[in-house]
Structure formats: structure tokens, C-alpha cells
Amino acid sequence: MSDDELIVQARKNIAKMKVNIPFTLRELMGATWLSLSKGERIRFGKNFKALVVAGEFDNIIYINKKANNSASYRKER
């Protein structure tokens, strides 16, 4: 699956999420996340975070990096 396809899926999943609940990409992407290789997960994680920080997801904010090295995000509206 390409990063563009993953971004489209992420946007669809975000639209279904409740507001103000922290999440990781693993939680957001569900079974799709588990089907990706470790390298694909790392690459997509970096790309997703960069898009969030750049404001491409205007309703998502980066919270922090968790102990297991995964990033936490939150939907604001």
C-alpha cells in the first residue's frame, strides 16, 4: 500500500473518530497497520507526523512520543 493510499484511509478513519481522544497510528489504522512491514510503518509514521506538524490535517495535533517510540495524536474538532 502506498503512502498516498494510507493517507486516504487515515483521513477516512479520522472522520469517524471522536474528538479529544488520544490515538496512535496503530489504533487509527487498525488491521491495515498490522499488514504493513516494520519499515513501511516507520516510513508512514514519519510522513504522517510531518503532515500533521505542517498542518495538512487541520483537526489533528501531535501530542508526544510514547515510551514505545510511537507518536500520540489527538483530534481537536
How many domains does one find in the chain?
A: 1
CATH of the domain at 32: 1.10.10
In which domain, by residue range, is 46 found? 3-75
d(CA 69, CA 57): 21
Task: Write the DSSP symbol of residue 36.
Answer: S
pLDDT at 77: 85
The answer to whether the pTM exceeds 0.75 is yes
C-alpha cell at 8: 486516504
73: left (phi over 0), alpha (psi -120 to 50) or beta: beta
Q: Tell me: the pLDDT tens digits for 11-48?
A: 999 999 999 999 999 999 999 999 999 999 999 999 99
Q: Among residues 29, 31, 27, 23, which one has the least CA distance to residue 3?
A: 29
pLDDT at 42: 94
Check: CB of residue 10 under 8 Å from CB of residue 52: no
Mean pLDDT for 67-72 is: 86
